[in-house]
């Protein structure tokens, strides 16, 4: 085949891939969008197979102080972590089928920038995505080998509230649909109450004892005095007439 024809076919394949949304490449995800974007569903299936727990896959955390104690992150309840502590997050296939690809998208719930050294990779099976939004961190696979566990390091020096969106692909085959799982996890590092308010509430001054009772008492006494004087004058006038 002529070189010009090969070049043309290559261009057509690249355009088709961009149009149809080839997202889970053997060397990593091709997107860093929130949730499960339409372009991903177009190739891998519209529904998926549920959350990570449906595939017997867990996202666990351990600390550098208690490496033997592992706790699984909950998809419903917010997980609270300590400021300054180093945590190891692991996507682990706990007795289920191994997986080939993954995407961990980390963002701040309030929209703050979390791209500055919050997470580090810990294995050759993981890498950072270079095309995420400037305030978002994305970590994906480097190959499509079967994996039972991939770890990364998480540490924050300041209180922050994070949203972790995790997509795990078990089969990267256009003929196999919905072979992926998706879950969201909320992490609170530190206590939000530790941040002092900008404008603290002011205490209302206590009312003084002369604010309302004194005027009412004086006005009542004046009224009684006027009535007595009026009655006295009326009595004197009546006496003189007699």
In the chain, count H helices and then E strands.
Answer: 3, 13
In the chain, which stretches have pLDDT less than 70? 1-25, 65-68, 192-242
DSSP secondary structure letters along 205-230: PPPPTTSSHHHHHHHHHHHHHHHHHH
Residue 9 covered by a domain:
no
* Cβ contact 73:79 at 8 Å: yes
- pLDDT given at position 193: 54
- pLDDT given at position 154: 95
Residue 189 covered by a domain:
yes
* Cβ contact 170:41 at 8 Å: no
- pLDDT given at position 11: 42
- pLDDT given at position 124: 92
Domain count, the chain: 1
- pLDDT given at position 203: 40
* Token code pair at residue 31: 């997107």
Residue 150 covered by a domain:
yes
- pLDDT given at position 101: 96
* Cβ contact 74:183 at 8 Å: no
Query: Residue 80 is part of which domain span?
Result: 21-67+74-193
Q: What is the CATH number of the domain that holds 52?
A: 2.60.40.4060
- The helix/strand/coil state of 20 is helix
Residue 115 covered by a domain:
yes
Q: Of 72, 76, 78, give the one whose Cα is nearest residue 60.
A: 72
Ordered alpha helix ranges (H), 52-151:
none
Residue 147 covered by a domain:
yes
Residue 34 covered by a domain:
yes
- What distance in Å separates the CA atoms of residue 236 and residue 242, rounded to the nearest whole number? 10
Residue 109 covered by a domain:
yes
Residue 13 covered by a domain:
no
């Amino acid at each position: 085949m002529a070189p010009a024809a090969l070049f043309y076919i290559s261009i057509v394949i690249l355009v088709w891939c961009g149009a149809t949304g080839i997202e889970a490449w053997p060397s990593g995800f091709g997107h860093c969008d929130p949730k499960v974007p339409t372009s991903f569903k177009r190739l891998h299936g519209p529904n998926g197979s549920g959350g990570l727990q449906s595939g017997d896959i867990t996202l666990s955390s351990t600390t550098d102080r208690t490496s033997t104690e592992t706790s699984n992150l909950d998809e419903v309840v917010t997980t609270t972590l300590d400021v300054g502590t180093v945590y190891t997050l692991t996507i682990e296939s706990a007795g289920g089928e191994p997986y080939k690809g993954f995407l961990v998208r980390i963002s701040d719930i309030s929209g703050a920038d979390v791209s500055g050294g919050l997470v580090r990779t810990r294995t050759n099976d993981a890498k950072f995505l270079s095309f995420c939004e400037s305030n978002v961190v994305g970590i994906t696979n480097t190959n499509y080998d079967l994996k039972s566990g991939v770890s990364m390091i998480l540490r924050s020096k300041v209180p922050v509230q994070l949203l972790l969106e995790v997509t795990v692909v078990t089969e990267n085959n256009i003929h196999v649909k919905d072979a992926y799982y998706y879950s969201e996890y909320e992490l609170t590092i530190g206590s939000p109450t530790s941040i002092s308010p900008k404008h603290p509430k002011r205490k209302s001054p206590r009312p003084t004892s002369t604010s309302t009772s004194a005027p009412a008492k004086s006005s009542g006494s004046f009224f009684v005095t006027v009535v007595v004087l009026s009655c006295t004058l009326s009595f004197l006038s009546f006496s003189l007439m007699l």
